[in-house]
Structure 1
């Protein structure tokens, strides 16, 4: 089916409401404002759902703070709050917080209305009508969620039709169709959405997917093909159980697969994704489409070779679209093309024989499960070719680490900086902490800046053998620049020390 290419799909992001229902995720008021600002101002999302009414005093304060920012920025009409069929209670909460749009949670299946509410369809329609009419009196715009609509269409479609006929003439701007339990597939999503649009062609329908069968994005695709005007997402796919459709994936599917338009700025999606990752504490999978760390990294040498020959391994998902860059991984599957791409970015030229030796060394390291990075290449070149391609201005001459029960670990070290030796001793909360404290003493005495350690991770090859190599990856920030260094050793602390010495030479 060919869709009109000028059709604009409306995006409602519910990271701050549905996404916050992810186990262990709770955004502070200032974090909510920061995320709202990036979603609306930078990314250009049409609407955002920021909270549920009546949850807590903290939620109320967060909504008020977000409202104050949105009023100043001109986005107040694009903030929405989930409300309930509870007379005026939710409405008063929303109005008091300063919001102008309520997403009213109604029951979209016969089972929910009769077993959870213990009401007849007629009673529920009357209750909804009362809330909608009261909202209009209070100047609050209403959208309606048909909760459990997917089960309603599967098991009680007559109830869904009765509910819609009872509500279609009320002042409701959007009817939102949730697959609350994530039970739909692309086929029945299309037919159910198409049925709603055929019966009520003048109404605005949104589709709200969940990802329990890993079909959320596919179901969004089908709903749009069926004709819905809006879809709901969360950043990084946050949400209850398996989560919601990821905003980044939905954006790419709409633009590339459906050839339709949105109001979103693709270049900002990675920035928003990283912000939500930081605030939520939920790490993005490295192979997550669009925003994963490795999704724009070519590993096989044949791919890098193809890229050099008229971009044979490129698709429409160019990293530059999303504010990112293509990288070429180095490891046991690397060929010379991968290595050459990385050398070019470093401004290093090499003859074919030298290239062969470096390739062999990288493959050897890859067999030991070491992740080789572009930053490691100059060190590998120096090691393999045994020349002074890089002058190590800083050398660790000697060090001693002690661990005694009941006492803090102590580190003593001797280091050479530009030909001069320095010694220092320090205690710390661990052996590596003591080592870094001793280093900091030396750098402080020399009035040299010392980078801030921002992250520290350790990995070993699968199998958990006690004699396995340990790879330590340390993230640093030096004068506003973020970078990583890696160390490999049989001992975790020594691996970290190797990574630290790499860092010292890098900043030098």
Structure 2
């Protein structure tokens, strides 16, 4: 289990084309810029690419390596000596060599049984170690594997001095409960440090990653904004912020740099960040509900469990169909407009009608304009002379 306050290594695979969303291609300049931001944010390890993809990919990895970041830069390799040779051309000192762990993938991809895969792991990792590379063993499709097979193959790799085993939920099939049990049981099969790599097909990649860490994994494989095959991977920003709250553990990631990092990756991906995206979405610290706003104005802790200041952000009150008197008064008070109950009620009624008609939020400037109109109307009514009723008697 985790030690209190222990450091969890965050390994980012954002730059590896094989883990990007379909159609996403980073230029060399974008790769270097993203790697620079990852390093500045405090990510422990950057998996910079797959050298076997060709000379252009090798060049991109080499460009990242040449920046001499304090962050470790690795390359992803299949279980073959030619992939190792390509990694050497890229100039990395660390590689992740991946091998299938489920018997289905062993037989389909390698036409091999577990003992034969263990022998091949011994051969290829031995080759990489002879070339001076530090090696992590990647366990593809680990979540569908027999843990005894993982123990056999990881044991063969451990004899060669690999520094970590990556347990990959390649198809995103796990839930947090089964993830916890898998990792806990895996500790009985290998003494290697465990990294968890989760896919998000069921929307559980973040939860599974946190569960794996609670069960004893010491590293998390993540991507910025969850970029990855199919439904993507566990998002770096979610895991880094949630981890101290769920596992009493910490990472080296600086939360105040996450917005800038995610904006950069979104721009390079030619995509936008969903407004409700956890941690970095534009609306996650935005409040409209009258009940919520009334509570926030007294004490932000009533309806905000995550401090926006931790991320270099602030909470925001917006006006719309669901707003209440407290929100209208607050928006107007910010510019010195003091509304009594009757005026505030009229302003709120008009503002709600605007929101219903336009099906959008009402800008603060328009709310204040309506308030000024109502204040002027109230003043005019107060100044109007009393009317006398004259009756004629026969």
Aligned residue pairs, count: 375
Aligned pairs for 1:159-178 (under 5 A) are 159-178=149-168
Q: Is the 8 A contact 2:196 2:212 kept in 1?
A: yes
CA distance in 2, matches of 1:20, 1:3: 28
CA distance in 1, matches of 2:251, 2:365: 38
State the match for 1:216 in structure 2. 205
Matched, 1:7 2:6: yes
Matched, 1:181 2:171: yes
CA distance in 2, matches of 1:33, 1:357: 55
Q: Is the 8 A contact 1:149 1:180 kept in 2?
A: yes
2:3 partner SS: coil
State the match for 1:96 in structure 2. 89
Task: Report the TM-score, using the length of structure 1 for normalisation.
Answer: 0.70
Report deviation, 1:67.
Answer: 1.6
State which of 293, 316, 323 in structure 1 corresponds to 2:305.
316
CA distance in 2, matches of 1:101, 1:383: 68
1:451-492 deviations in Å (ceiling 9; x for gaps): xxxxxxxxxxxxxxxxxxxxxxxxxxxxxxxxxxxxxxxxxx
Change (3 A) 1:275 1:385: farther
CA distance in 2, matches of 1:312, 1:145: 42
CA distance in 2, matches of 1:340, 1:82: 57
State the match for 1:62 in structure 2. 60
Q: Is the 8 A contact 1:19 1:238 kept in 2?
A: no
CA distance in 2, matches of 1:340, 1:235: 39
Matched, 1:105 2:94: no
Matched, 1:356 2:345: yes
Which structure's residues are more often strand, by fraction? Answer: 1
State the match for 1:197 in structure 2. 187
State the match for 1:44 in structure 2. 42
CA distance in 2, matches of 1:19, 1:343: 52
Q: CA RMSD in A?
A: 2.1
1:387-407 deviations in Å (ceiling 9; x for gaps): 9xxxxxxxxxxxxxxxxxxxx
Q: Is the 8 A contact 1:108 1:146 kept in 2?
A: yes
State the match for 1:458 in structure 2. none
State the match for 1:467 in structure 2. none
State the match for 2:335 in structure 1. 347
Report deviation, 1:383.
Answer: 5.9
Report deviation, 1:159.
Answer: 2.3
Matched, 1:79 2:67: no
Task: Report the TM-score, using the length of structure 2 for normalisation.
Answer: 0.89
Which structure's residues are more often helix, by fraction? Answer: 2
Higher relative contact order, chain-length normalized (CA < 8 Å, sep 6+): 2
Q: What are structure 1's unaligned runs of at least 5 residues? A: 388-508
Report deviation, 1:236.
Answer: 1.0
2:136 partner SS: strand
Change (3 A) 1:52 1:374: farther
Moved over 6 A (4+): none
Q: What are structure 2's unaligned runs of at least 5 residues? A: 378-394
Report deviation, 1:385.
Answer: 5.3
